[in-house]
Amino acid sequence: MAAFSLRPILDTVSLWIHTMNRCPRSLTTRLSASLTALSLVCGLAAPLAQAQTPEPVRDFPAAALRGTLLIQQPPLALLDGVQDKLSPGVRIHTQHNLLALSGSLVDRPLIVNYVRDSYGLISEVWILTRPEIALQRDSASSGTNIVIGNGNGRAVGISIK
């Protein structure tokens, strides 16, 4: 008579080898595969949904002006070709409305909306997206002209045209 061995039975129910014996392997394998497939489908569907939505146009302050900014060596910058300075706490918003450091934008001409602080320094900048560039906005270069006199050489007063 052949010897009866408990070895195959003990190997399948051993708590030392298979510590998660309450979960059959086939169920965990199927669950793992279905979760992987679901995450792939969700991961591929999200960028497609984002690509179909138009870019939103941000709301800018009424005092914001349009210009072309070229940061040379922070805080020095060219704004519409004129030497200017960024304020020490300048906030530069990217196209995705994230904050950018001025050092990362060196020597890149950017079309921006900007606001000045009370000292005349550029304090807040928004790098524009294509839909925002299409919207018309005042710029400092095409702003107001201050005329002193009436054109006859006599000083009459100050008028803003």
What pLDDT, on the 0 to 100 scale, is given for residue 126? Answer: 97
CA distance 69 to 48: 33
Place of tokens 């009370």: 118
Average pLDDT along the chain: 77
Q: Are 126 and 93 in contact (CB under 8 A)?
A: yes
What pLDDT, on the 0 to 100 scale, is given for residue 5? Answer: 62
What pLDDT, on the 0 to 100 scale, is given for residue 146? Answer: 43
Residues near 107 by Cβ (< 8 Å), separated by ≥ 6? 70, 71, 72
Quickly count: other Cβ atoms within 10 Å of residue 20's Cβ. 9
What pLDDT, on the 0 to 100 scale, is given for residue 144? Answer: 44
At 43, the amino acid letter reads G
Hey, what are 59's tokens? 């709301």
pLDDT, one tens digit per residue, over 80-133 is: 999 999 999 999 999 999 999 999 999 999 999 999 999 999 999 999 999 999
Which is more confident, 98 or 151?
Answer: 98
Which is more confident, 144 or 127?
Answer: 127
pLDDT, one tens digit per residue, over 14-39 is: 666 666 656 555 656 666 767 776 77
Where are the chain's structural domains? 10-52, 65-136
- Is the pLDDT at 148 greater than 70? The verdict is no
Phi, psi of 138 (to 5 degrees): -65, 150
pLDDT, one tens digit per residue, over 67-80 is: 999 999 999 999 99
pLDDT category of residue 143 using cuts at 50, 70 and 90: very low
Q: Are 59 and 51 in contact (CB under 8 A)?
A: no
Average pLDDT over residues 147-159: 47
pLDDT category of residue 56 using cuts at 50, 70 and 90: confident
What pLDDT, on the 0 to 100 scale, is given for residue 152? Answer: 54
Closest CA to 93 of 139, 62, 61: 61
Pairing of strands 76-79, 65-73: antiparallel
